[in-house]
A and B are shown apart, each in its own frame.
Chain A
Amino acid sequence: MASATATTTKGGAGRGALNSALFYVFLVLFVLVSLFPLLWVFRMSIVTKSNLLTSPAVTLTAPPVATSYGTVFGNPDFIQALQNSVIVAGVTTVICLFFGSICAYAIARLRFRFKGSIMTIILAISFFPAVAIIAPLFIQFSAVGIINTYWAMIIPDVVFALPLTIWILVAFFRELPRDLEEAAKVDGATTIQAFRKVIVPLAAPGVFTTAILTFIHAWNEFLFANTFIFDAAHYPVTVVIPNFATTYTTDYGAQAAGAVIVTVPLIILVLIFQRRIVSGLTAGAVKG
């Protein structure tokens, strides 16, 4: 654990080499453990049903086949679920970015009272136990008639994603140079104009990162979807995939394939934008 500082002490060449060898062994282990489930489940998704059921050792060595992917993509319910998830997560992201960026700009740039309290309230919401409001929401959503619609997922998703959106955007907005807006204001722009014409284009990369994080948050949501949706035509992927094993009388290969399909796009997105995502995720915690 002390290796962070140990490498710089005068320990002789042998000890240094041993230390760095140990360090890389540790790194390789860490990377393997992190990636293992994805790799193994991918492996499970590309073997035949009979090979899969024989034993894990056979699963590891069996020749690859694409039948599970054929099953999953040939299943209209799964395609529908993918579409539902994209719609719900997409609309949630757009709404969160619209309200979130306006709110975050005010917090990052303007001076007013209770800023600290407002930020605390907003943050408190994102760690609020969501299950505590499913009963009242169920009654209210039934009264308004939106049970079994996308809105029954989008509305609560927005509430729980919005705090995340605001916190990350505040961190990004604070990093932008202040002089440009001041200059715009000197030239006669209002606060709103300065925001729209100067901040928004400059903040685009930060806003884009925030959009990805918000989208992932909504894409992963399960509790509200499982509570408010009874109708299979509106199920998102997070509800459909756990039920795969039962609906297909234990077609584990199809379940594995489904899991790989909904995870890989997220992982690719995250890997492409990893640098920015890490700074977005940690900004709030460290500065706040």
Chain B
Amino acid sequence: MSELALTLLRFGFLALLWCFVLITVSALRRDLQAPDTAAIATAPMRTGRKPARSGRIRPRNLVVTQGSLQGTVLPLGSAPVTIGRAADNTLVVDDDYASSHHARLYQTEGRWIVEDVGSTNGTWIERNRITGPTLLEPGAPLRVGRTIFELRK
């Protein structure tokens, strides 16, 4: 093998190695810039009309204000949040009065909707037991079993 050929191979290899790195990093940057899959799945494609959220604070966290998990803060993304005692919930509550799958929160147009998913003791906003998907205003107490939640900025 001639000296020249080996030198070419040496530089060629380093170039190829960096090609891998640069291609990966550029693909990865696209991946970082793309909204995460949950956002892709839930964000409605809309043009022109902005979601009606002027003057409304957009909640960022779901906070437990009362119950065994008091003080827990769950940062909200755009994916739905499920609440219950079973381990596969987003927020697992340790509460004898909650059902294994109790309630579900989901976002639409920057607002959070709560629905009961067949719990025994019901899901309550202030003093009202909800019967269907209901808008949850920031600051309003949401009760599941003996645990009370609140949306906060």
Tell whether A and B belong to one assembly: no
Q: Which residues in A have some Cβ–Cβ distance to B below 8 Å?
A: none
Q: Which residues in B have some Cβ–Cβ distance to A below 8 Å?
A: none
